[in-house]
Amino acid sequence: MLKIYPVAVSMLLLASCNQPLADSFTTPATADWLTYGGTALEQRFSPLTEINSDTVENLGLAWSHEFDTARGLEATPLVVDGVIYTTSAWSKVYAFDAVSGKQLWSYDPKVPGETGFKACCDVVNRGAAFHDGKIYVGALDGRLIALDAKTGSLLWSTVTVDQSKPYTITGAPRVVKGRVLIGNGGAEYGVRGYVSAYDAQTGKLAWRFYTVPPAKGAAPDGAASDSIIEKMQATWDGDWSKFGGGGTVWDSIVYDEEFNQVLIGVGNGSPWDHRVRSNGKGDNLFISSVVALDADTGEYKWHYQGVPGESWDFTQTQSIILANLKIGGADRKVMMQAPKNGLFYVIDRSDGKLISAKNFVPVNWTSGVDMKTGRPVENPEARYGKGLFVATPSGHGAHNWQPMAFSPQTGLAYIPAQEVPLAYVSDKPFVPRQGGWNLGVNLAINTLPDDKAALKAVRSSLRGYIIAWDPVKQKEAWRVDLGGPGNGGMLTSAGGLVFAGNAKGKLVAYAADSGKELWSYDTGIGIIAPPITYSVDGVQYVAVMAGYGGGYGLPAAFAELQGPRPNGRLLVFALGGKASYKIARAPQAPPVIVQENWSPATVTKGAELYGNTCSVCHGGGARSSGVLPDLRRSGVLADKASWQAVVHDGVLKENGMVGFAKWMSRDDIEAIRAYVADRARLVAKEGDQ
């Protein structure tokens, strides 16, 4: 039975009466954390007040659990009737007693190691869903799995994607009206996005909506999206089906009960470059959009496209929060979103009409949004058609998947924001790589400089903040400088607090009204996941997954806590907690000095190949964040045959390191070795900069 605390709920309602904002349609506040965003509103706001601005200084560790992986941990744990359910890398699922930390069960879906190559942004998983005694999880290899919540035993499993294509699942499912909704990823490689609804009891497909149309002349899909195919096709040009078009629904799926609709966030185009994907023509519906679907049938209702014909990996998949706001003296039922492109959107949920949009970080790809059309006013140089363009924000996002939160008490949204510029130039000639990355953009131009002053300038351009944003005024209320990007998601509570972890490994509590730091705990592990809070037998807890990685952290050349990473942890805190805790970090190995010498042309060729292929996992300039091996320090580097066995032949594919024989020759792979060896010599000479 769910534990409901009338005192906490009444305090929340009383506080809300004194604020300009109020949500009359919230689901009942409970002591549990039942779904990804806390409730269907996805506000990540808790009514619990035992841990508050006065008592938080007494917060201490109650218990922790060490996982079997040092890969990124992005999950939002669920708490149901005194049990925590969470997921780790490689889509593993765990259940713990929420008070003692005793592990109750675990489930390993045994995802094949080579699937890791299909995952653009680490082998992460953002969490599970709970419904009717069952736990649901999307596996990296495209399966949707139902488990018995008490025992962890498998109830059913269904494949949701064509596994011969580079699809993955990293997002958390949502359960809506007895159906489990799940999307997928893979748009960097070349897939066609969609969202699917499966019967929660049987796993049978109920409906599917494709976010990108089939090619002109192709047969309909027999899907809920068939009725809108012609409208979508009119916004595309050429044969986009060669690379699927992209538009994957890899994160936000939100149920809006008031309008019986599901709001989905749709990702980037595939390839990135609009000229390659669609001959530079058309808006390319529904990439970079929010789309509203009928919750029963999956039929199209409305959409808002943030970046028509996008070319920068500006996904619109980031957190969608539902609320009622008083705007211009009127009560408006809205959704709020702060996606990668750097603009904070307030949109009417009844019809998808834009109410307001304002940049929350510096942006140079647009000067703002034309409120008559709802379209961005683009910088004519931004599409890099006439040469290089350094975009801010970039595909790393002004705000990425790390969830933001919203407090109906303060009326503020709390955004884990960042500034990560990226240089874009068309990849000419574009050479398709079946099953590999297909961006249409030359990433190698972002290779890090050797000059110390230039390197320092690059590092200083990377910024991270917590921004408290007033969605009514479209104005910043306060900010906290985190020193760099790649930080954790947000939690806010009726105790007047905001909790967030950061890349330096600290979980911090801030005053929700001012941003003043009130408490912190050093986990020793970079945190990218969002915290949650729950209560059992009247005792409130705060929990967070600590484990660095993900799309930014995996290849981050300037990562905090650089070096070999310890295994990730689940940490749970309570007032008066005194559990012991320690982290052992392995020392950084010395660079490997290779005796062979190569021509400058070979090293230059290797730099280009590395920048466009290897850097997305092993770090720019061969500077590893430590999540994956630092190739400059790998013993494999010293031996040509061993290097070829790993990189060409794929002898370590079970660990996620596939062979690249289908895309590169042995000479290409030796050129990469030459470049990495050159980087190792630089480290030996000048040290890590």
Condensed to tens digits (0 to 9), the pLDDT of residues 99-123 reads: 999 999 999 999 999 999 999 999 9
Sorted by where each starts, the structural domains of the chain and their CATH numbers stand as: 6-421+461-575 (2.140.10.10), 600-686 (1.10.760.10)
Q: What is the C-alpha to C-alpha distance for residues 376 and 288, in angstroms, rounded to an integer?
A: 12
Cβ 24 vs Cβ 469: under 8 Å: no
Helices (H) and strands (E) in the chain, counts: 9, 39
Question: In degrees, to the nearest 5, what angle opens at C-alpha 661 toward C-alphas 660 and 662?
Answer: 95
Positive or negative, the CA dihedral 243, 245, 251, 254 is negative
Q: Which residues pair with 466 in a beta bridge?
A: 416, 480
Structure tokens at 282: 């058309």
Cβ 599 vs Cβ 558: under 8 Å: no
CA atoms within 13 A on the CB side of 149: 20
Q: How many CB atoms lie within 10 A of CB 580?
A: 6
Q: What is the C-alpha to C-alpha distance for residues 654 and 636, in angstroms, rounded to an integer?
A: 17
Q: What is the C-alpha to C-alpha distance for residues 617 and 652, in angstroms, rounded to an integer?
A: 15
Give the DSSP per-residue string, 312-365: S-----S-EEEEEEEETTEEEEEEEE--TTSEEEEEETTT--EEEEEESS--SS
Pairing of strands 289-294, 300-305: antiparallel
DSSP letter, residue 155: E
Question: In degrees, to the nearest 5, what angle opens at C-alpha 463 toward C-alphas 493 and 520?
Answer: 40
Local structure of 124: helix, strand or coil: coil
Q: What is the C-alpha to C-alpha distance for residues 34 and 225, in angstroms, rounded to an integer?
A: 30
**434 falls in which pLDDT band (50, 70, 90)?**
confident
- How many Å is the maximal CA-CA distance in the chain? 74
Q: What is the C-alpha to C-alpha distance for residues 652 and 638, in angstroms, rounded to an integer?
A: 17
**687 falls in which pLDDT band (50, 70, 90)?**
confident
Q: How many CB atoms lie within 10 A of CB 202?
A: 12
| pLDDT at position 481 over 80 | yes
Q: What is the C-alpha to C-alpha distance for residues 364 and 378, in angstroms, rounded to an integer?
A: 9
Local structure of 15: helix, strand or coil: helix
pTM over 0.85: yes
Q: What is the pLDDT of residues 595-650, one digit of tens each?
A: 999 999 999 999 999 999 999 999 999 999 999 999 999 999 999 999 999 999 99
Mean pLDDT of the chain: 94
Pairing of strands 103-107, 129-131: unpaired
Q: What is the C-alpha to C-alpha distance for residues 642 and 652, in angstroms, rounded to an integer?
A: 11
Share of the chain above pLDDT 90, in %: 93
Backbone angles phi and psi of 277, in degrees to 5: -75, -40
For the residues 304-321, what does the mean pLDDT come to? 98
Q: What is the pLDDT of residues 115-161, one digit of tens each?
A: 999 999 999 999 999 999 999 999 999 999 999 999 999 999 999 99
Residues written for the chain: 689
Q: What is the pLDDT of residues 205-232, one digit of tens each?
A: 999 999 999 999 999 999 999 999 999 9
Residues 6+ apart with CB under 8 A from 492: 43, 44, 45, 46, 405, 406, 407, 410, 414, 498, 499, 512
Q: Nearest Cα to 211, choosing from 158, 173, 253?
A: 253
| pLDDT at position 28 over 60 | no
Percentages of the chain per state (helix, strand, coil), in multiples of 5: 20, 30, 50
For the residues 364-387, what does the mean pLDDT come to? 97
**58 falls in which pLDDT band (50, 70, 90)?**
very high
pLDDT at 25: 38
Structure tokens at 490: 């947000």
Q: What is the C-alpha to C-alpha distance for residues 619 and 600, in angstroms, rounded to an integer?
A: 22
Q: What is the C-alpha to C-alpha distance for residues 180 and 159, in angstroms, rounded to an integer?
A: 13
Q: What is the C-alpha to C-alpha distance for residues 403 and 70, in angstroms, rounded to an integer?
A: 22
Cβ 71 vs Cβ 626: under 8 Å: no
**29 falls in which pLDDT band (50, 70, 90)?**
low
Pairing of strands 194-199, 389-391: unpaired
Q: Nearest Cα to 43, choosing from 321, 247, 271, 453?
A: 321
Q: Is 162 a known active-site residue?
A: no
Catalytic residue among 23, 32, 251, 313: 313
Cβ 226 vs Cβ 276: under 8 Å: no
Cβ 534 vs Cβ 541: under 8 Å: yes
pLDDT at 337: 98
CA atoms within 13 A on the CB side of 88: 22
Q: Nearest Cα to 186, choosing from 171, 204, 176, 206?
A: 171
Q: What is the C-alpha to C-alpha distance for residues 589 and 570, in angstroms, rounded to an integer?
A: 28
Residues 6+ apart with CB under 8 A from 639: none
